Amino acid sequence: MQTLAVILEAPERLALRSLEMKPVDASDVVVEVAFSGISTGTEKLLWSGRMPPFPGLGYPLVPGYESVGRVVDAGIEARGRIGDWVFVPGANCYTDARGLFGGTAKTVIVPSARAILIPENLGETGTLCALAATALHAIKGGFDRREALPDLIIGHGVLGRLLARLTVALGGAAPTVWETNPARREGAVGYQVIDPSSDERRDYHAIYDASGDAGLVDDLIMRLAKGGEIVLAGFYSERINFAFPAAFMREAHFRVAAEWQPGDLAETRALIECGRLGLTGLITNRRPAGEAMEAYPQAFNDPDCLKMILDWSEC
């Protein structure tokens, strides 16, 4: 079986071509992808060649971990899944390319457990499930302390917006969000977005950084209350350093938020289905998958592009 896939052959060398897939095992499902998202965090680092080395990394690779579509076939143990509308957090089903993420293809093969049932009426917004679950995972890491809900969020990209929306959905006070780009200060839902230079507050209890900028840590420490926490919720290609005296004086806590877990996605889906968490207004750009070579640079370089979606319906 073959599939049409986006493939990063090397940094800044992108192609859309057919790839051979591995055979379908008994517990696998075959998913025909309808929409896939482009991540401006990890995928931008893969595109630029700045991704720090870790196991499984190498080129050529198929990017993507934000795909939704329908199960159209399955191995003998998973035939009951046929017809399901699912979210796929990546695939490793290619014989001649790495599937480190692997979800940006017309058809993917994954173990049935990795094809997560979601409401079909979410449509293209279903691609945001992973990012929403990532935001929830970051928040839940400190949820045993009430003050660990974000009261300051750095960056009003999609992750920053989801952190803010989840804070409100979980019953927290509306957080403050910092954003240096005036165009990105629009679109707040129940919270305030401001230029950091206009904020004089120095007693934040929980600062969540969604910017990925390793150079901000010293400035954020100066905004903490005593015993406050800084949560690194982005992905950082540079080393993170900070001056010790200010952190010492504030008895600062630091926490790194890793990737979401299955329970996070289930809880996120429940918040969406009950209406407490909305995903509207987060997808700003859409292109047919055949225009992937233009879509990726736009997603990474256009400051007005919050989230780019590839539509596979015509491939």
pLDDT at position 54 is: 73
Stretch 199-210: mean pLDDT, rounded? Answer: 97
- Sequence-distant (6+) residues with CB within 8 A of 192 are 174, 176, 177
pLDDT at position 285 is: 97
The 152-154 sheet, strands edge to edge:
192-194, 176-178, 152-154, 204-209, 224-232, 253-256
Which helix (H) or strand (E) is 264 found in, with range? Answer: helix 262-273
Q: Percentage of residues in the chain with pLDDT exceeding 90? A: 83
What does the longest C-alpha to C-alpha distance in the chain come to? 62
Render pLDDT for 67-103 as a digit per residue (tens, 0 to 9).
999 999 999 999 999 999 999 999 999 999 987 799 9
Q: Percentage of residues in the chain with pLDDT exceeding 70? A: 97
- Residue appearing with tokens 């319906």: 313
Render pLDDT for 152-163 as a digit per residue (tens, 0 to 9).
999 999 999 999
220 token code pair: 């954020």
Domains of the chain: 2-117+284-311 (3.90.180.10), 131-256 (3.40.50.720)
What pTM value is reported for the model?
Answer: 0.93
Average per-residue pLDDT for the chain: 93
Which helix (H) or strand (E) is 262 found in, with range? Answer: helix 262-273
Task: Note whether 170 and 265 are within 8 A (CB).
Answer: no
pLDDT at position 143 is: 60
Stretch 44-71: mean pLDDT, rounded? Answer: 88
Helix (H, G, I), strand (E, B) or coil at 47: helix
Weakest mean pLDDT among 25-34, 38-47, 77-86, 199-208: 38-47
pLDDT at position 228 is: 95
284 token code pair: 């700003």
Q: How far apart are CA 92 and CA 290, in angstroms?
A: 22
* pLDDT range class, residue 189, cuts 50, 70, 90: confident
Render pLDDT for 237-293 as a digit per residue (tens, 0 to 9).
889 999 999 999 999 999 999 889 989 999 999 999 999 999 999 999 999 999 999
